[in-house]
Amino acid sequence: MRFLADAGISPKTVEFLIRLGHQADHVRALGLERSPDRTLVERANADSLVIVTFDLDFGDILAWACRTSQARSSSGSRTNAQTR
């Protein structure tokens, strides 16, 4: 799996994930430690990363991201019900 560790996660956790054979990066190592949470979600989505965080507001941000993604993917296509 591929992981992106948020600022509140210890770099030791990233090292542990790497030792287990996963790809893992810490936001500090990528220069993203001051980036807004939405930026991290967009990066994780674009790069197929799992975000590791203690941040409780990520649930709200993920819900926003899912709604935005669904709106974009459904705006240009028709469902079976619409084509009947």
Q: 9, 52 in Cβ contact below 8 A?
A: yes
Domain that includes residue 50, residue range: 2-83
Q: Of the ranges 2-6, 15-19, 62-66, 78-82, which one carries the lowest mean pLDDT score?
A: 78-82
Tokens at 69, concatenated: 């993604």
**What percentage of the chain carries pLDDT values higher than 90?**
55
CB neighbour list of residue 15: distance below 8 Å, 6 or more residues apart: none
Q: How far is CA 43 from the centre of its chain?
A: 6
* Coil, strand or helix at 1: coil
Is residue 48 scored above 90 in pLDDT? yes
- Predicted TM-score (pTM) of this structure: 0.72
Average pLDDT value for the chain: 80
Over residues 57-74, mean pLDDT: 58
In the chain, the number of structural domains is: 1
Is residue 10 scored above 70 in pLDDT? yes
